Amino acid sequence: MSEQDKSPDFPYIAENIFAPIYPVIAAHIVKQSRIERGICLDLGCGIASLGIAVAEITDMQVYGVDISTKMCRLSRNKAFRHCLSGKVAPVQSDVHLLPFRNNCADLIVSRGSVFFWNDLPVAFNEISRVLAPGGQAWVGGGFGTKELRAQISEKMVEIDPDWHASSKERLSPENLQAIKEAGRQTEIPYHVIQDDSGFWMVLSKEG
């Protein structure tokens, strides 16, 4: 289950509160990975905000993957509003069993969903399977910048006074260690980014 399914208000929150982070995250990932062509998967995408942001600045074909029928419908509608229907397509699927061939994805992004995956080793093995040689996977919960994180945190606390506690729980040392261990089991080289802007695990499959 994705983070989006945990909150019935996620579409509103993504469009009105979290919206500023996605272009910043997309620009950072594209700059760091130097990947601008091929296939991009946005896993646990919700309304595909990050995938759409990637599509807007690259020549990539983006597939927004989410287990929720509602989120797939909303992501299709959002892609249409952004005039990206030809570049962003929803795919209803579980991250634990991706309907993609081996070595097909040049870039994989996933923001916020990993904390709700039921079986981390299985999910990361699927990421490893579909990631193309020379490709990268960015999995985590970054906010783009320290300033954006503070801005969004302030707004989220107004909606949910327990937001800080739930956020801290998601980023607990135990959860982060489980994510790192699942990534390690794929045997793909990876590095971890953990700073004031958030947490990312970056897997780089050798070409």
E-strand ranges in the chain read: 39-43, 61-66, 88-92, 105-111, 131-140, 190-195, 198-204
**How far is it, in rounded angstroms, from Cα 175 to Cα 189?**
20
- What's 8's DSSP letter? T
pLDDT digit string, tens, across residues 14-63: 888 999 999 999 999 999 999 999 999 999 999 999 999 999 999 999 99
- Cα separation of 203 and 158, whole Å? 35
Find all residues with CB under 8 Å of 108, minimum gap 6, and list them.
40, 41, 43, 127, 130, 131, 135, 136, 137, 138, 139
pTM, entire model: 0.93
Residue-wise pLDDT for 65-104, tens only, equals 999 999 999 999 999 999 999 999 999 999 999 999 999 9
State the helix-helix crossing angle for 21-33 and 49-57, rounded to 10 degrees: 50
What domains appear along the chain, each with residue ranges and CATH number?
Answer: 3-204 (3.40.50.150)
